[in-house]
Amino acid sequence: MAALPDEQRKALIQAAFEGKSEFSYSPYSKFRVGAALLASDGTIVKGANIENASYGGTICAERTAIVKSASEGNRSFAALAVVTDVKSAISPCGLCRQVIREFCAQDMPILLVPADYPINQDSGDAGKGSVKQTSIGELLPDSFGPEDLELPRGTI
């Protein structure tokens, strides 16, 4: 898994916090989530969870960022950061993992950022305040992706 340069990492995490604080619409769950997606061209796209009274109409922050970017024609990504109000790193839900798998390389860095990260500034502590770096390959092992649709099929 590639390491992000410190400047990009900080900008991505800051954008995820801004997405959560400025744009999250979570009147039902009160569970704010922000995401920031780093496109391969260096553009950062913010996302926030947007809830709906019909819960099935809710869209998570990670999918918001990916859909915003993909709908504008940018489908090449370098990293993703996700932040909530919880003081530990929270992982994307199953549906978000599958959407991330669709658009992102299996080893692309995904930064799971605890709510108290700015206080501790990645102190190296494995507990509160430290960013967990992972990838979709780790979060969704043995996954199904676009390349699987190209596999030969047997006859019935």
For residues 116-135, b (16+ Cβ closer than 10 Å) or e, as one string? ebeebeeeeeeeebbbebbb
Q: Are strands 132-134 and 110-113 parallel, antiparallel or unpaired?
A: antiparallel
69 belongs to an annotated ligand binding site: no
49 belongs to an annotated ligand binding site: yes
60 belongs to an annotated ligand binding site: yes
The phi, psi pair for 150, rounded to 5°, reads -95, -5
Catalytic residues: 62
Residue 99 tokens read as: 């959407």
52 belongs to an annotated ligand binding site: yes
Residue in the block written with tokens 């999918």: 63
- The partner residues of 25 in beta bridges, in order of sequence, read 50
74 belongs to an annotated ligand binding site: no
- Return all residues near 14 (Cβ < 8 A) that are at least 6 apart: 36
55 belongs to an annotated ligand binding site: yes
93 belongs to an annotated ligand binding site: yes
104 belongs to an annotated ligand binding site: no
Binding residue numbers for substrate: 49-55
Binding residue numbers: 49-55, 60, 93, 96
Binding residue numbers for Zn(2+): 60, 93, 96
